[in-house]
Amino acid sequence: MNYKIPLRDIRFVTQELLDSPTHYSKFTKGQAADPDTVEAIFQEAAKFCENELAPLNQSGDEEGCHFEDGVVTTPKGFKEKYDDFVANGWPSLCGPTEFGGQGMPESIGLIMMEMMISTNHSWSMYPGLSSGAIKTIYTHANDNIKGRFMPPMVEGKWTGTMCLTEPHCGSDLGLLKTYAEVDASSEEDGAYVLSGSKIFISSGEHDLADNIVHIVLARLPDAPEGIRGISLFVVPKFEVNQDGSLGERNGVSCGSIEEKMGIHGNSTCVINFDSAKGYLISQPHKGMRAMFTFINESRLGVAMHGQAHTSVSFQKALAYAKDREQFQAAKRVNPDRPADPIIHHADVRRMLLTQKAFAEGGRMLNMFCGQQVDIEQSPDFSAEEHAQAEALLAILTPIAKGFLSETSMEATNYGIQILGGHGFIKEWGMEQEVRDARISQLYEGTTGIQGLDLLGRKILKTKGAAIAPLMEMFDDFIGENRWNKNARRFKKYFKKWKSLTRSTGFKVMRGGMDELNAAAVEYLMVGGYVTLGYFWSRAAIVAEEAIESGKGDAEFYQAKIEMANFYYERIMPRVESMIESIGNGSESLMSMDVERFVFLDD
């Protein structure tokens, strides 16, 4: 079963729901994204992903990466397709024009990223991480470093990574030990030597590019303890001369690659820095603030991971359910045959429609976030518009990352369930979707960390000010559509989320960190369900208007209306149980003594 990029739905979301032509007309960078150009990009990107990347997905999973004496070789065909990717100019699509990029809006790049992830997640990570490294250097490095590193990275000749985690600290980066000292042998300002080890470094070593540029967190000698003592450096695999040419091999090596549950075609490396030459690109001890340029980019990318796997699993499960005949449906479809296609059984439809709700709803959320990134990064918008986009992204990024990675596990497991025993067998490809999607719940901070960021650091720390712009956007939508059924249904659950925010805030004030930790994930999930409800309500209203105006494609629009009905009747009631669970507090979680967790025979 071959995956087809859902271009019709992508057009609906971008053009009709989010009105991308008007959006792009408002800023200089967007004006190059006229409808014909955007359509051509989507068409060619879909061809590349379907015809070039998808055929390597299963073979890459089966072969995996090879490691020998510090050298990593990617699966057969990966390098050739990467060379084609570079030759056709795809890496430079959204790159800054002053360094050889095409300067397209970031939202275009996010749509391209969904296509790549959905057809070959492992392969997509090599250029995907490079995008975050490029933005980090562009935002924080000095002109000398930009001039030396940016052009080949934008072209795709060099790739990038993010190096955060160490063996003794996962997400608790305040504990990291990698250190940096001034390079006494160098006359360059900002030149340092770094020593230490990083683990779980995706794309940390491979054979696709001429150089690999690592974005590394490390401590300076006079650094204060904890997260406030971290600085940010750029450290290349091969040293880079002042003219941008490659020099000697740097003190950077791959100690091993991990044997993982999924994404086998991507190299997950232990990277050792042994007096490796690097350059400070943040203010001393302000590295985490700078690193969030990369982290926030990656969190939106991980939201794409979850949504993309959901979309693939749904499409493949749908094709199977239409063909597979088992049992007789309540309303017979094939009365002359012993059985009907399983899509006519209510339980199979429950699973398929849940997949569809998260796949298409997640696409709306991700692409809306992409537009906010456009606004945030463009100088053509007002200070007020910048602040609005920044505020929306602050809340929606942890929701998109956390919610869509969680729902992707439900959805991809349904893909296996619909295929039954065939879903459990490798040749059908459904179990790979589960394995590859699973990492999204861990990448860039677990769901628990996303919940703590959303509820604790963003909402409660600001006494609700951080979430106010999103709440205002929702209130405006309700007010503008007060007579519409879909807006009224959304209003019901939105009021519950607002009430939950207040009550949880009071509970945390009284009970402290245990209450915050106990509520965080379920609070995030409530926010995710309500936010997707907002987009499904908007989609249904757009579809109703299209049908009333006789726009055509009535079946497509009717499906959006029916999906909104399904979402509110079968998915949104989950919010009720989560609100009750949060209200019950942390006592049942924390009262049991650790020694009573399990009793084993002596």
- Catalytic positions are 444
Distances (CA, A) of 330 to 10, 59, 335: 35, 41, 11
As a whole number of angstroms, the distance between CA 412 and CA 431 comes to: 8
Q: Which helix (H) or strand (E) covers residue 63, if one does?
A: helix 57-63
Which among 111, 3, 16, 107 is positioned nearest to 560, based on CA atoms?
16
As a whole number of angstroms, the distance between CA 342 and CA 191 comes to: 64
Residue for token pair 């149980």: 577
Which residue type, as a one-letter code, is found at position 99? Answer: F
Residue for token pair 């090596």: 253
List the beta bridge partners of residue 158. Answer: 211
CB-side neighbour CA atoms (13 Å) of 445: 27
Which residues make Cβ contacts (< 8 Å) with residue 583, sequence separation at least 6?
Answer: 503
Which residues make Cβ contacts (< 8 Å) with residue 369, sequence separation at least 6?
Answer: 110, 300, 303, 392, 393, 396, 397, 400
As a whole number of angstroms, the distance between CA 94 and CA 32 comes to: 11
According to DSSP, the β-strands at 158-163 and 211-218 are parallel
As a whole number of angstroms, the distance between CA 21 and CA 573 comes to: 35
Which among 139, 169, 153 is positioned nearest to 295, based on CA atoms?
139
What is the maximum span of the chain, computed from C-alpha positions, in angstroms?
85
Which residues make Cβ contacts (< 8 Å) with residue 353, sequence separation at least 6?
Answer: 563, 566, 570
E strands, 158-267, are 158-163, 179-182, 191-202, 211-218, 231-236, 238-240, 246-249, 252-257
The tokens for 494 are 């939105």
As a whole number of angstroms, the distance between CA 580 and CA 193 comes to: 53
